[in-house]
Amino acid sequence: MFLLRRTETRSTAMSHAAHSAPDEQPLFSMGFLLRTMAVIAILAVLTVAISVGGRWFGRHISLAGNTDSTADITLAIGRDTVKFPENVIRFPSQRHDGAVERVDLYLAWPEMQGYGKENRIRFDDIGQSSGLIFLQLTQSTMSRDMSGRLEPIYSHLLEGLAEPFRDGLTLHRLRADAGYGDEVLLTAPTKNGLDYVVRCILPSSPDKAASGDCQRDIKVGRDLSVLYRFSSSHLNDWEHIDAAIRTFVEARLMNRSATSP
């Protein structure tokens, strides 16, 4: 009987040991902890990447093709070489050094500055684009600019009597078959002897003026044609705009063969 009790006691102890063994195992295995830590690390990296990438993407969306970089871009156009900061070059595809057929610029008026934090609303908001001047620089294909073409070309395309306009300008109407649509010609005498000449589509009221409804071209440098467009709402500044554009381009000519106004 004593032997039987010892056997029962030993059997009971082994049974308790078998039941208590699982309680002594760790709640999480080392492999599980390592996998969990790896997942947390990956999520942290993804969070940082999304944050940085989101800021980068958001910035580029807000710029919408504009740039506030003032790094210089050197361009050869025909016989002239010019240097402009990136933020005045209108299209991203043109912001590179080298020889080009043309370059398009945009400038805030009257500051004559490119895109920046302080004036970005005028570049980003189409409703305020009348505060911009648009330029296109190409190698000249004609021997005369718009002022020089008044007598030999435009004078033969006019009809009716000239009309006094405003701000020292005179309005001339172009023949319907001249190919200029609804444009009119505005002229004014200047100090250098050649008349100022600009073509405009005049709005029915000042509040309907478009951002580039007036255009004029001038010659600068050795062989550079500068076509610029501005809002008819700035016609009162026609003389200042013309002088400012000439000065802006001439100051950035690398060959420095500036033309006299």
Distance CA 110, CA 131 (A): 8
DSSP H or E stretch at residue 229: strand 224-230
Kindly report each contact of residues 60-66 with a partner whose C-beta sits within 8 Å and lies 24 or more positions away, as own/partner. 62/124, 64/124, 65/91, 65/92, 66/115, 66/120, 66/123, 66/124
23-39 confidence digits (pLDDT tens) = 555 555 677 667 777 76
117-172 confidence digits (pLDDT tens) = 999 999 998 888 899 999 999 999 999 999 999 999 999 999 999 999 999 999 99
pLDDT for res 46: 65
Q: Are strands 158-164 and 170-174 parallel, antiparallel or unpaired?
A: antiparallel
Whole-structure pTM value: 0.75
Asked if residues 135 and 230 have their Cβ atoms less than 8 Å apart, the reply is: no
- Bridge partner list, 72: 85
| DSSP 8-state symbol, 232 | G
Higher-pLDDT residue of 54, 251: 251
